[in-house]
Chains A and B, each alone.
Chain A
Amino acid sequence: MLKVPFELKPYPSPHHSPKPVMSVVFANPSDESKKFPSICLLDSGADFCTLPLSAQLRLGLDLKKMNVAKVPMSCACGNKTFFGYKFKVNVTIYDMEGKPFTNLLWVLFAKSDTMPLIGRNLMDIFENMSYNNTERKDYFLGLREEEL
């Protein structure tokens, strides 16, 4: 069974609340050498994985020049709608043995200084998610049937 770990890390200081984080590599599907490796925050309320638009520099993309359609976006706490680009990139996460697991997923590139976020479109690939506040080591477990 696929088991992908993530951790609960209190930061910026040890006194702040623990936040779920995991390492993820975003890559240009047309050129895998163009990568944006990132430590992402897991956001179970986000519809999609989200990166700031500047990340496109590392991915060798220019979404405006590529005429990628703009999409409206908003944050949970805001009443403001802003625009970004929605584009599919390869998203790689790593299982317990370090084996990569890659999916071509929609990623929102926000014209704001958002933190790198893992959204529902990655989380929903998995059957289960365990969350242990004591161990602070948590997992995504097993693929949903439609992903097999």
Chain B
Amino acid sequence: MNNPAIKEAFNTFISKKDWSKYSGEWVAICNDKVISSHQDLKKVIKESAKKCKGKVPTFTKIPDKNVAMVL
């Protein structure tokens, strides 16, 4: 990908086997790591802006591990 930050974040997301720790939370990924997580996306956006200086973090939401998803 020409956007290395999102490629890196996607690879981090795919290669990490278990996301249960973040069940029901938003996560921000930067430099191969989860740099912020919370149920409130606004908090994750604000915190990740401080921790991922000079780069743009990638955001995703981890589904609740105890809830079946029906879209």
A-side residues, CB < 8 A to B, are 7, 9, 11-14, 16, 19, 21-23, 25, 35-41, 43, 45-46, 52, 54-55, 57-58, 75-77, 92, 94, 98-100, 113, 115-117
In the complex the two chains form, is B56's CB within 8 Å of A37's CB?
A: yes
Q: A11-B63, A12-B20 are in contact. Are A38 and B71 (CB under 8 A)?
A: no
A23 in contact with B10 (CB, 8 Å): yes
Our pick among A16, A41, A98 for the contact of B7 (Cβ within 8 Å) is: A98
Check B61 against A37 for contact (C-beta < 8 Å).
Answer: no
Beta-carbon contact of B65 and A37 below 8 Å: no
By size class, the interface of chain B is: 35 or more
Write the B34-71 contact mask toward A (1 if CB under 8 angstroms, else 0). 00000111100110000000001111111111000111
B60 touches A14 (CB 8 A): no
Give A45 to B70 CA distance when docked, in angstroms. Answer: 11
| Given the contacts A16-B65, A25-B6, A57-B42, A76 and B13 also touching, CB distance less than 8 Å | no
How far, in angstroms, from A19 to B70 measured CA to CA in the complex? Answer: 12
User: Between A and B, how many residue pairs show CB distances below 8 Å?
Assistant: 99
Binding site for A on B (CB under 8 A): 1-3, 5-7, 9-10, 13-14, 17-20, 22-23, 39-42, 45-46, 56-65, 69-71
Whether A12 touches B2, Cβ cut-off 8 Å, given contacts A46-B71, A54-B45, is: no
Query: Known: A13-B19, A39-B13, A39-B60. Contact between A57 and B45, CB under 8 A?
Result: yes
The answer to whether B57 and A37 touch across the interface, beta carbons within 8 angstroms, is yes
User: Across the interface, do A25 and B59 meet the contact criterion of CB distance under 8 Å?
Assistant: no
Chain B nearest CB, measured from A36 CB (Å): 7
> Measured between alpha carbons, how far is A5 from B28 in the docked complex, in Å?
22
Are A43 and B58 touching (Cβ within 8 A)?
Answer: no
Q: Which residue of the partner chain, among B9, B46, B65, B70, contacts A76 with CB atoms under 8 Å? A: B70
Instruction: Give 6 CB contacts A-B under 8 Å.
Output: A11-B62, A37-B57, A39-B13, A46-B71, A55-B59, A77-B70
Complex CA gap A94/B1 in Å reads 6
The complex places the Cα of A98 from the Cα of B8 at a distance, in Å, of 12
